[in-house]
Amino acid sequence: MISLVRRPLLHTATSAASRRASSTVAATTISSDIPLYVTDAPEPQITTLDNGVVVASLFTAEQGSTYTTTRISNVGSRFDKVGGESAILASSLGGEVGREHITIGNLTIDGLAAVAAGGELAGLDKLKSQLATKVSNASYENQMLDQLHSTAYQTSPSGNSLGNALEGSVESIESITVDDVSAIARGVNGSNVVVVGTGSGVHDQLVDVINKKLGGLKSSASGGNAVVEAGEASAFLGSDVRIRYDSHNTATVALGFKGASWIDPKAMPLALMQTILGSFTTSSGLGKNVAPAMCQEVADHELASSISSFSLSYSDTGLFGVVATAPDNKLDDLLWYVMPNMVRLAHGISDEEFSRAKMALKTQIYMTYDGEIAAGEDMARQLQTVGRVQTLAELVARVDALTMDDVKAAANDVINDQDHALAAIGGIHELPDYNWIRRHSYMLRY
């Protein structure tokens, strides 16, 4: 029996006004000044197949191009036993790997069941060669984010570590076998799969196609990957890893604190904090005309060629911090400006900064629906991480509802007097040691 939930694709102005009057998010009424194109945004149709596969669509017409996004959880680098097998599986299906999922941008997903059954994986040697080349040519920023995960999350109660390299190492990739990839694929069951259709199409026809392709997936995994259980969150370990090359005249540094999971109440305040810290690169064309205070100071003193903040969420934890590339003789000055800008989030920022960051965050939310592919990817992510598709009006209302106290509380929990993890590579002889950075994670106020 297929259960079907139908929602109207279009809403009238009357129904939109009614929703604005009655909908609440965290006890906050959706403001009447939210534009109609937000409150009238179409809602998806969602169908759950017998084996748990979720099929959602946000079609705007019956004729035209159809775009599909398939997001599969319970697979990803977190579940790798060798290192890189999830990335190989994703590549074989034409997709990309994440730490707790893979994303496939087309309908080549029918090969998943064959791989899980131990079938032939076409072109394994070629896939391994391509992945090894990609890994060996990864940017220092990507390498340091990998190393940051590795040092921050060294163990996991469930045996599935966020510290695993996203795409493995050149050495681990070389040793991957078909059985390794099949073992990862066997950890997937129907309830781990979400398929979202956008663009033009008919929902029932999409359901029929997905049912034919994935209806054979088991409703429960047999011998699959262990799922992270409630109360078994990965343990964050304050630590650092430093790879020193005195021959380099630049260094790349990633600094992170324990962040928030997808469903943690701190997730939205941390997203706003990320916007407050902002990002800067000398190649952006803006020069020193950047809005975030931290980036202004970095640009004015020419402390780094690039710096960006991040807030990464996972099923049980997260990482919040910054990554920067800077001259080797300016690392001490860089941290001297970065740490106070992070710590002051726990003590309050200006009203202008707060308002600007809110507007920027809402713009980012709108951009997730800028294009059929982007909209499909975000819908699939929401269905798997929070269990439903959040409307644009709800997301905007949640941002509007944030207060300065919310930011202070989140920053107190995440940054203020908290252990950090750090990964750095290059000419790092002037990079302050762990204790110096730890000491600057709080302010002494008399």
pLDDT tens sequence across 220-253? 654 445 444 444 678 999 999 999 999 999 999 9
Report yes or no on 220 lying in a domain: no
The pLDDT of residue 64 is 80
Contact (CB, 8 A) for 25 and 2: no
Q: 154 pLDDT band (50/70/90 cuts)?
A: confident
Report which of residues 19 and 347 the model is more confident about: 347
Answer yes or no: do 309 and 409 share one domain.
Answer: yes
Q: Mean of the per-residue pLDDT values for the chain? A: 85
Answer yes or no: do 257 and 164 share one domain.
Answer: no
Contact (CB, 8 A) for 419 and 236: yes
Contact (CB, 8 A) for 279 and 364: no
- Quote the tokens at residue 407: 């930011």
CA 103/CA 69 separation, integer angstroms: 7
How many whole angstroms from its chain centre is CA 364? 14
Residue 232 is classified by DSSP as -
Question: In terms of DSSP H, where are the helices of 187-237?
Answer: 203-214
The pLDDT of residue 240 is 95
The pLDDT of residue 315 is 92
- Quote the tokens at residue 305: 């060629």
The number of C-alpha atoms within 13 Å of 284 and in the hemisphere containing its C-beta is: 15
Q: Return the bridge partners of 3, or none.
A: 48
Report which of residues 56 and 159 the model is more confident about: 56
Is the pTM higher than 0.85? The answer reads: yes
Answer yes or no: do 180 and 290 share one domain.
Answer: no
Question: Which one, of 107, 5, 78, lies nearest residue 47 by Cα?
Answer: 5
Report yes or no on 234 lying in a domain: no
**Domain coverage including residue 120:** 3-214
The pLDDT of residue 107 is 62
Report yes or no on 223 lying in a domain: no
Of 214, 232, 249, the residue at which a domain comes to its end is: 214
Report yes or no on 26 lying in a domain: yes
The pLDDT of residue 36 is 64
Report yes or no on 130 lying in a domain: yes
Answer yes or no: do 181 and 278 share one domain.
Answer: no
Answer yes or no: do 158 and 252 share one domain.
Answer: no
Is the pLDDT score of 22 beyond 70?
A: no
Answer yes or no: do 206 and 244 share one domain.
Answer: no
Answer yes or no: do 319 and 175 share one domain.
Answer: no
Answer yes or no: do 62 and 193 share one domain.
Answer: yes
Report yes or no on 233 lying in a domain: no
Q: 2 pLDDT band (50/70/90 cuts)?
A: very low
CA 37/CA 13 separation, integer angstroms: 10
Query: What is the mean pLDDT of the segment spanning 323-328?
Result: 97
Report yes or no on 230 lying in a domain: no
Q: What is the pLDDT of residues 106-131, one digit of tens each?
A: 765 556 666 655 556 778 999 999 99
Report yes or no on 155 lying in a domain: yes
Answer yes or no: do 71 and 170 share one domain.
Answer: yes
Of 196, 214, 232, the residue at which a domain comes to its end is: 214
- Distances in Å between the alpha carbon of 85 and those of 66, 381, 442? 30, 22, 41
* Residue 276 belongs to domain with CATH number: 3.30.830.10
Of 214, 229, 248, the residue at which a domain comes to its end is: 214
| Phi/psi-derived region of residue 67, left when phi > 0, alpha when psi is between -120 and 50, beta in every other case | beta
Is the pLDDT score of 24 beyond 60?
A: no
Sequence-distant (≥ 6) Cβ neighbours of residue 361 within 8 angstroms: 271, 272, 275, 399
Answer yes or no: do 88 and 147 share one domain.
Answer: yes
The pLDDT of residue 13 is 32
Angle at the Cα of 7 from the Cα atoms of 190 and 210, rounded to 5 degrees: 30
Answer yes or no: do 71 and 182 share one domain.
Answer: yes
Q: Domain tally for the chain?
A: 2
Is the pLDDT score of 17 beyond 60?
A: no
- Which range, of 8-12, 62-66, 361-365, averages the lowest pLDDT? 8-12
The pLDDT of residue 28 is 44
The pLDDT of residue 285 is 74
The pLDDT of residue 16 is 33
Answer yes or no: do 256 and 167 share one domain.
Answer: no
Report which of residues 182 and 136 the model is more confident about: 136
Q: What is the pLDDT of residues 184-209, one digit of tens each?
A: 888 888 899 999 999 889 999 999 99
CA 337/CA 234 separation, integer angstroms: 30
